[in-house]
Structure 1
Amino acid sequence: MRKADALNAKHPMQKPSRLTQQLEKILGDDPWPAGASEACALAERRPLDKGQALQRAGDRWQHLWWIESGALRMYFVDIDGQSHNKNFYLEGAFLWPITPTLAREPVHFWVEALEPSIVWALPWAEWKSAVQDFAPWAALEKQMLSRLLEDKMQREHEFLQRSATERYQDLLEHHPAWAQRVPLKHIASFLGITDVALSRIRRRLAETSEPLNPG
């Protein structure tokens, strides 16, 4: 029995949610384990205003999130109250507490909407309990962990061995959608420079006819 069929058997008039459909797409055709469809039925569709927090530092990370539309940023706030962007997420992205520590202890970062967004919040404890022995989910988690490690190593390389201009050019190459959607001040923070310095870099690249995405 397919996942959506299992849900409809309990709720005949209920269509599978956008979240359920997306999970079906990425997890393949294997039947879901007991409890997974019921966990999905607990998910909430949350509209977010621009600047509204989805996750606050000091709170526990208790949900898997899927971005139906919009854009989010993950950032830290230092002891001087300055924010430092760690990552950006656009529609279609999944986020969840991929390590036990992230789910068990209060987090040190914030997640907020960069623009009006819609996010699905799936209770993590219920979903994790249902899929912990589900091979397609285990494969997805392994893939995500590998990607996070590769991104971390690449980011360390860029900060240690690449100039600010090269870091910006790398961002344009690997994340062109960010340049279109994320405000320049947040791009600058992600690159570890001021927005004034980024404006100078963009102007210099434009003057030398280097490829430059509008932002």
Structure 2
Amino acid sequence: MARAGPLAGAGRAGLPGASTGGPRSGGADSLGVSEVAFPAACMGRILPTAAVHSFGGSPRSNPIEGLLLFGQPARMSFHPLSEHPGLFQLPRERLGKSFGPSYPPPPATLDALGALLVPRRLKRGQTLIANGQTEHLVGWLDQGLVRLYYQDDKGQEYTKLFFRPGMWFLTGFEQGQPSSVSLQASSDAVVWVTRMDAYRRLFESDLHMALAHTAILSRHIAFKHWREVAFLTLSGTERYQRFITQHSDWADQIPLSHIASHIGVTPTQLSRIRRKLGLIVHRAAPGAPQAQPSP
């Protein structure tokens, strides 16, 4: 692949994990990234921070070397993307399938959506959205597990949902209104996010995206319905058994307190349920096989 050239007609891409600032910031400060203009060949790919060759240089005639990054002049050194195996690349096929078979967005709509999405790599326990945050996000989970939870005035947490790879999350529709929920990585995760206002402009102007958005909402409504049915018709033990079946790949990595708040029991009650089922009390290390019933 040819090295990056002048910025004329460039697309936009972001540098993960970078603070923002300076006149070239793309306004993605709340996403924890700084947007920089790159040639269209880089669209959908995120250059690592290692691509920053040096800071503190003086602006030069070369538009790339004179780029303002994080509010400082910087010289950028670009190499073929194949030399950076850790680069984020939007998995378009899986993204398209995430809307289900009823409303598969056409390529043009996926292109428009992909242009909005910015990757975030989250460590286990890291918060993506905090209760009270006024800027809302829409995101698609690429890797890992993320939980959505509420917190009361006393600090008690109530886990509503665990998002698995391929699922979409929305934290609210009205910018400026405090979020009533928090999103936290239950494992190391990669999410693709954009601001709600940008996402909303897309589905208001693109019928295909509006239909795809309807599919997202339908899934959330269906989940809410079956969760209510489970609380009305199943015992705490049955809800726990259902949970570890649905999340067999992740159940042994999730803190028991989070599971308890999700299925509507106290940690003490969950311990009794696990003892009753004969489950091994010892928690395996992250990545180890899930606990199995003892003989």
Normalising by the smaller structure, the TM-score range is 0.7 to 0.9
Residue pair 1:40, 1:127 contacting (<8 A) in 2 also: no
Of Structure 1 and Structure 2, the greater helix share is in 1
Higher-RCO chain (CA-CA 8 Å, sequence separation at least 6): 1
* Residue 32, structure 1, aligned to residue 104, structure 2: no
Q: CA deviation at 1:186?
A: 1.0
- Which of 151, 159, 165 is 2:231 aligned to? 159
Residue pair 1:39, 1:123 contacting (<8 A) in 2 also: no
* Residue 84, structure 1, aligned to residue 155, structure 2: no
The verdict on how the C-alpha distance between 1:38 and 1:181 changes in structure 2, with shifts beyond 3 A counting, is same
**Equivalent position amino acid for 2:193 in 1:** A
Residue pair 1:164, 1:193 contacting (<8 A) in 2 also: yes
What is the SS of the residue equivalent to 2:108?
Answer: coil
Q: Which consecutive unaligned segments of at least 5 residues does structure 2 have?
A: 1-8, 12-38, 46-88, 280-289
Residue pair 2:147, 2:183 contacting (<8 A) in 1 also: yes
Residue pair 2:168, 2:216 contacting (<8 A) in 1 also: no
**Equivalent position amino acid for 1:201 in 2:** I
Residue pair 1:59, 1:107 contacting (<8 A) in 2 also: yes
CA distance in 2, matches of 1:25, 1:42: 18
- Which of 70, 74, 77 is 2:148 aligned to? 74
- Higher gyration radius (CA): 2
Deviation per residue, 1:132-161 (Å, 9 max, x gap): 243432232222222222222222222233
**Equivalent position amino acid for 2:44 in 1:** P
- Which of 179, 188, 200 is 2:272 aligned to? 200
The verdict on how the C-alpha distance between 1:92 and 1:146 changes in structure 2, with shifts beyond 3 A counting, is closer
Residue pair 1:43, 1:122 contacting (<8 A) in 2 also: yes
CA distance in 2, matches of 1:59, 1:152: 24
What is the SS of the residue equivalent to 1:13?
Answer: helix
- Corresponding residue number in structure 1 for 2:139: 65
The verdict on how the C-alpha distance between 1:25 and 1:144 changes in structure 2, with shifts beyond 3 A counting, is closer
TM-score (norm 1): 0.76
Aligned residues: 199
Q: CA deviation at 1:39?
A: 6.2
- Corresponding residue number in structure 1 for 2:123: 49
CA distance in 2, matches of 1:40, 1:70: 20
Q: CA deviation at 1:87?
A: 0.7
